[in-house]
Amino acid sequence: MNTINFDIDADGIATLTIDVPGQSMNVIGPDFLADLDTAIARIASEEGVKGAVIASGKDSGFMAGMDLKYFGSMLASAGDRPSPAAIFDKLFVLNALFRRLETSGKPIACAIEGTCVGGGFELALACHRRFVGDSPKTQLGLPEILIGLFPGGGGSQRLPRIMGVQAALMYMLQGKLFRPAEAAMLKVVDGVVPQGTAVEAAKAWVKANPTAGTQPWDVKGYKVPGGAGGFNPAFVQTMVGALPMTLKQTQRNMNAPIALLSAVYEGITLPMDRAIQIESKYFARVAADPQASNMIRTLFVNKQAAERGARRPKDQPKAPTTKLAMLGAGMMGAGIATVAAQAGMEVMLFDRDLAYAEKGKAHVEEVLKKRLGKGMTPEKLAATLARVTPTTDYAALAGADFVIEAVFEDVAIKAEVTRQVEAVLGADTIFGSNTSTLPITRLAQAWSKPENFIGVHFFSPVEKMPLVEIILGEQTGPAAIAKALDFVSQIRKTPIVVHDSRGFYTSRSFGTYVQEGAELVGEGVNPALIENAGKQLGMPTGPLAVSDEVSIELGVKIMTAAQKELGDAYVRQGSDDIMVKMVGADRLGRKNGKGWYDYPEGGKKHLAPVLGEMFPRAATQPDVEAVKERLLYRQLIECARCFAEGVLETPEDGDIGAIFGWGFAPYTGGPFSHMDTVGIAHVVAVLDRLAAAHGPRFAPTQQLRDMAASGATFYRPLPAKAAA
């Protein structure tokens, strides 16, 4: 066996040590499935084997889930658009193996040290006892829902039978993970032991319980904790409440949560052999839909590839940051200082006024205090805070090996700060700008070596938002790219790499969502309809609400700066006048308590009644599908333009950036995955129709037309890239 070491001790206890070669974490692939089949056969058939312990041979943890590359290839082998029936047998292999394990007739205990999630946790659930080391970093659970799937290795059937239907659904529907103590409290594990002793504890249990090779649900008279079945009031209440709550949270866009509810509802009162077939039936339906493969590709495979340096220049040596010069101590600068200090870097937090710099450090402390008891100790907090030094003296930046600038969005102000820093550090130091809209190539003119100047665009709040957009100016060199990507890796965020343009990729594309919302208001569409359509589309919030959050006034300032910069080349949008009218009425957004919404002190925000006076309602209102279509396709065409213009090099960056940058509907896998899925020809047809009705902002690119004609897609391009 290549992935499992099978050893039998003097007591007849077999230890199955999982160590999948070539993987940093154990995952389930074809070799492991074959080896587990062999190991189960030995456990069941060899008289000398009295029981077994399953453990990991890796320091990284026990086991993650399915190798998703293998999972993707398995689906591909069933055809381009496989039917559920075509993939059921492929998917049921894992379920059948775990069932054979728990019915082998021998006691099986699982020794968990470190991460145990997905299929790895389902393997643990199929064991008769579970012992886990008490490391506070250990996480256990079933997070599959977060990537468009649900537990398909028996987890949807075993977890409710262990902890009760209501509690199990809460964890599975949210993809929520357990810490060891929490898992023990909920009886998901049977013992929490000192880290490093789980194998010893598991062996002791097997030795002391030679006849305990039967699961509770295989014993006559077993009852699900809390009850189950159509005649159980608690179960009925749980299921009746779970469905509408799930539909509301997912806006009916997600396949996996509804399939999970169906699998639990139908399977919970059946014998386990039938229950796991029910689970695999629904899992096959979910897996057969492109939604799952799109989400897996973007939210897992491509995200991991980005974090592992897919866009990093291969010929550049590692360049970790040890001392960061953080210019600007406002919300963004303080947030960047926080994550950098947490990553172990020394941070010089510079601002023009010491009070501002100290306020920035106070923000760092405030964020860290909120993490006390969640992996943060008072000692760690003090050490992290000590790494942040407020200053107003450029000379104090000496020795910094990376600079990030987050000062006021003005070219002249940024240029002055840039020159002052170069006088101290020299132009060989890599300089990053956190600008969200100003072209990097222009800002780089203030640095003597523009090849060492790069855009490093964070999202607010920095501590929570996972994405960093790396922007290449016309002369940005490989050393700067490597330095920026290594910094992003140090702070454990996800990078995308794009080329220079006004607004880059994320701000430019996200802005169209807000702009189209304003256009609709200007046309007399009911603001409530617009907001609801945005949420039903799968966006985190409506376009008017998000406009208030980022500030209507800021949008107008960015628009005015672009008009000044571009002159006659600036293309006016209908939304420009709408936003100017809002600012003229002193409706600036949440920051002054009135924008598209009113924000009464101590009360709940609500759409402003005055909007009906400022923008009279049209006599005929569009249906919600028409509004959703406009909000969606206005974003899609801007993303496609970014690709055609070379702002984006890959659809992978486009999809990752959209979902993690501005919250583009995650169930689609991102704008490029969505366009591929519905068909490029369909996208072009819809855009042509919208352009005819609403103007050239919807006009398809020539590249889209060429792709539609040739049959190319973003993820399966033809050999020669079509011209933009």
Catalytic positions: 457
- Beta pairing, strands 61-63 & 51-56: unpaired
| HSE toward the beta carbon, residue 193, CA cutoff 13 A | 20
Please, what sign has the CA dihedral across residues 138, 142, 146, 152?
Answer: positive
Report which of 185, 178, 60, 55 is spatially closest to residue 114, judged by C-alpha positions: 60
Displacement of CA 491 from its chain's centroid (Å):
16
DSSP string, 637-692: HHHHHHHHTTS-S-HHHHHHHHHHHH---GGGTSHHHHHHHH-HHHHHHHHHHHHH
Inter-residue long-range contacts of 314-318, CB under 8 Å, 24+ positions, other chains counted? 315/478, 316/478, 316/479, 316/481, 316/482, 317/482, 318/482, 318/486
> Bridge-partner residues for 115, per DSSP?
61
Dihedral Cα 702, 704, 705, 707, nearest 10 deg = 120
Q: Output the CA–CA distances (angstroms, integers) from residue 704 to 426, 645, 678, 687, in the order listed.
A: 45, 12, 13, 10
Residues 6+ positions from 693 with CB-CB distance below 8 Å: none
Residues 6+ positions from 94 with CB-CB distance below 8 Å: 28, 33, 66, 119, 122, 152, 153
Displacement of CA 364 from its chain's centroid (Å):
24
Report which of 650, 637, 654 is spatially closest to residue 506, judged by C-alpha positions: 654
Angle between helices 543-550 and 506-522 (to 10 degrees): 120
> Bridge-partner residues for 141, per DSSP?
117, 177
Report which of 363, 360, 381 is spatially closest to residue 371, judged by C-alpha positions: 381
Task: Provide the phi-psi class of 222: left if phi over 0, else alpha when psi is between -120 and 50, else beta.
Answer: beta
| HSE toward the beta carbon, residue 416, CA cutoff 13 A | 7
